Amino acid sequence: MKTVRIAALSLIIFFTSALESSSVLQERLRTSKPGDYIVTESNKMISILAIRSLSQKSLILEEIDVPAGAVDPRPLSWGDWVRQTAPGHTSWSMIEIDLENHQLIECYSFTRSAWIQLSSQESVISTLLGLELESVPKNEQRKIGPEPMNGEIDMRKIWLPPMITDGQQLSDVAFEVYRAAWPHDGSDLAGNTVFLYFDCANHSPFPVWIQMNTAHATASLRIVDTGKNLPIHHRTLPRRIPEFIGPAQKTASGLSMTIKSPRYYQNFELYAIDLSSPDKEIFPITHSLISKDGENLHIEIAQIELQNNLQTNHRYTWLIVPAGHSESYSESPKSFLWKADE
């Protein structure tokens, strides 16, 4: 029998990325606030997931992971535990999700002090983004006890997950249950079903129980606590800066260059820095976006623009600045000598 490991963050990504196919999820997310959080437990690992920022365009989540044995006994207050910099934690990260295009656009690990590349996860994420939720009727929901014999009326009660808020288990909680079919993608979950339980009173915008059924095993992600106003330790998601990829190349119509840039930067200002002038004057340069290949942007500068702004036999470097993010500028690593007649 296989063990199916449920990654807390991946399933929360599924919850947020399925917004396009479910008005219920859209409404739940709209009622959430920064600081709303859940505490999950799976495979002897505890994860705290919190909403840190929410807009029409993007969602930023924070995740803190800690081995269950490192928090035994459990903290009386997870908020106090975070205020103490989460002693025993093994991972602390932030992730940003593009709610318009339903894609992951950034992930930063504070534990590693580094950005985490998401390319290795793209196939999984693209699968999650395509899932659609449907409501599970009462007669098809999980029951308590063995199934009745043929011909017998099913008198079993519907199984309900525990609902815990601020360390206190709530009683008489009603739930909405949804399911989604995993596509036939060749993975262990291919063709199987994932179930999500949401509390009707909306104590939490997150699902309070997540279960995956496969032909060989049933795995669940147990939510051991929910709450609001989780203290802030890392106030912002660090941003990468654009990078120049190689030197500019001459073309029949001017110059072309390639810049690697995170997807959250949409527009750019380009400048030429005159290293030969005493004051290192900076000149704005009009440019055009030719094409985009993932994070690689190919831009072009017309010959007339270069002739009007650059002086022959002067040495320059390029400066790229994302519009609205002047702190994230980048200067080309090598200078070049401009000769208009070449």
Q: How far apart are CA 261 and CA 299, in angstroms?
A: 12
Percent of residues in the chain assigned helix, strand, coil, to nearest 5: 15, 40, 45
Percentage, residues of the chain above pLDDT 70: 83
| Structural domain boundaries in the chain | 8-227, 243-338
pLDDT for res 123? 38
When pLDDT is cut at 50, 70 and 90, the band that residue 69 belongs to is: very high
Q: Name the residue with higher pLDDT: 55 or 221.
A: 55
Q: How confident is the model at residue 119 (pLDDT cuts 50, 70, 90)?
A: very low
In the β-sheet with 209-213, what is the strand arrangement from edge to edge? Answer: 114-115, 103-109, 91-98, 58-67, 45-54, 37-42, 218-227, 209-213, 193-199, 175-181, 134-135
pLDDT for 1 beyond 50: no
Tokens for 253, please give them: 């119509």
- What are 273-287's pLDDT values in tens digits? 999 999 999 999 999
**Contact (Cβ atoms closer than 8 angstroms) between residue 16 and residue 53:** no
Residue in the block written with tokens 């509390």: 199
- Rounded Cα distance, 22 and 180, in Å: 11
- Sign for the CA dihedral angle at 132, 62, 329, 245 comes to negative
Q: Which tens digit of pLDDT belongs to each residue from 173-227?
A: 999 998 888 777 666 667 778 888 889 888 888 888 878 776 666 667 778 899 9
Task: Name which of 192-206, 214-228, 250-264, 301-315 the model is least confident about.
Answer: 214-228
pLDDT tier for residue 4 given thresholds of 50, 70 and 90: very low
DSSP 3-state of 126: helix
CA distance 174 to 177: 10
Query: 114 pLDDT band (50/70/90 cuts)?
Result: very high
* pTM for the model: 0.78
pLDDT, position 121: 40
Report how far residue 323's alpha carbon sits from residue 50's, in angstroms, rounded to the nearest whole number.
29
Q: What is the CA radius of gyration of the chain?
A: 26
CATH superfamily of 243-338: Immunoglobulins (2.60.40.10)
Residue 31 neighbours by CB under 8 Å, 6+ apart: 202, 205
Tell me what pLDDT residue 94 has: 92
**In which region does residue 122 sit, left (phi positive, over 0), alpha (psi from -120 to 50) or beta (all else)?**
alpha
